[in-house]
Amino acid sequence: MGDSSGDTEAAAADRAQGDDRGSDRGTGTNADSDTNTDPISTYFLSCNRNKESVALDLKSDLGVAALTELVRRSDVLLENFRPGVLDRLGFPLARLMELNPGLVVLSISGFGHDGPEGGRAGYDQIAQGEGGLMSMTGPDPETPTKMGVPISDLLSGMYGAFGVLGKLHERSITGKGGLVRTSLLAAVVGVHAYQGTRWTVAGEIPKAQGPHHPSICPYGLFHASDGAVQISIGSEGLWQKFAPAFGLPVDADGFATNADRVRNAAAVRAAVDAAFAGYTCRDLLAKLDEIGVPSGQVKNLQQVYEWEQTRSQGLLIDVDHPVLGTVELPGPPLRFFDGDGSEWHRDHLAPPLLGQHTAAVLDWLGVAANEGDRV
């Protein structure tokens, strides 16, 4: 929401001492300054562009007063406490609606807010496992593997944003706010896609297949002399072009049709790997492109961020950080255009230091803090 093209301000009301997903976690930059002598976490930097940070102790009178005023003035409140914590802090849904009938509340939990395990704490890798995602990921069924990014955290935030936008649209008609709930579990189960219906409809339990498609061959990861590439031979027409170009048997037993190749997958994949071994990735991809085979290199992140196509899409941004100076960050995945085709650009805010904007926001709220007060 902070990336959106609207006139949006996002304020993060953090616990005054930070939390286990906050500014003290992740790989540090070893930055040091008068304003923050701790390493600046790359984890925190990745999550908090276009936000202001207000550090509140919600067990202090001043902290409660500040949050009360924030609720009165806000369009959206996002919280990811364990179910029941916000109630115990004195801000149940009824109180929030009393303070601001138009408020949209987004509540993200680990495993849902109700049900027999609704009170469980949620962490990404645990949710990936409990939600079945790890059982379908990895080289084989005996090696459940987590994804390389905290996918349930990311997806629950995306689903939550979708829900908030829908609720805000509803509010524009009814004038009333309300509550949107999602969870890490819901985020993972929500992307099962066809793997889910393999169980619900066909009674099959999907298993990890490694880097190859289970019902199309060849479709997956293969090796050139200097790296890995992926190809998709999604039709017999493509196979008829691909096979002779690389000296593979077009109509031999076990190769002639996709059904044959799937049954003979190990031999087909070995033959493709052997054919690719004499090419560099660059030369191989050029040849595949020439004959119309969908393909791509398996890049590391340095290669991704140095790739001109990545940069052309605005997927990297420069921001001025109060400690680190100008830093480059992964940017927003959305681009906004006016009806005449002109692109709208916003000035991105650097991720804040913990509590960096507390004094300014308290002043805006009209909440006075005396020296020594617990905020």
Domain ranges of the chain: 11-193+307-365, 235-293
- How many helices (H) and strands (E) would you count in the chain? 15, 12
* CA–CA separation, 204 and 221 (whole Å): 25
Question: In terms of DSSP bridges, do strands 104-109 and 178-183 run parallel, antiparallel, or are they unpaired?
Answer: parallel
CA 79 from centroid of its chain's CA atoms: 17
* CA–CA separation, 265 and 259 (whole Å): 10
* CA–CA separation, 235 and 258 (whole Å): 8
Question: In terms of DSSP bridges, do strands 52-56 and 11-15 run parallel, antiparallel, or are they unpaired?
Answer: parallel
* CA–CA separation, 152 and 135 (whole Å): 15
11-193+307-365 belongs to CATH 3.30.1360.200: no
pLDDT digits (tens, 9 = 90+) for 154-205: 999 999 999 999 999 999 999 999 999 999 999 999 999 999 999 999 999 9
CA 262 from centroid of its chain's CA atoms: 33
pLDDT digits (tens, 9 = 90+) for 27-86: 555 444 444 334 478 999 999 999 999 999 999 999 999 999 999 999 999 999 999 999
CA 113 from centroid of its chain's CA atoms: 22
The letter for the amino acid at 162 is: F
* CA–CA separation, 151 and 294 (whole Å): 26
- Quote the DSSP letter at residue 40: P
> Residue 276 has what pLDDT?
99
Task: Give pTM, 2 decimals.
Answer: 0.89
- Complete DSSP assignment for 174-211: H---EEEEEEHHHHHHTT-THHHHHHHTT--------S
pLDDT above 60 (res 16): no
* CA–CA separation, 141 and 47 (whole Å): 32
Angle ∠(23,335,351) on CA atoms, nearest 5: 15
Q: Higher-confidence residue: 326 or 36?
A: 326
Joined tokens for residue 194: 């066809």
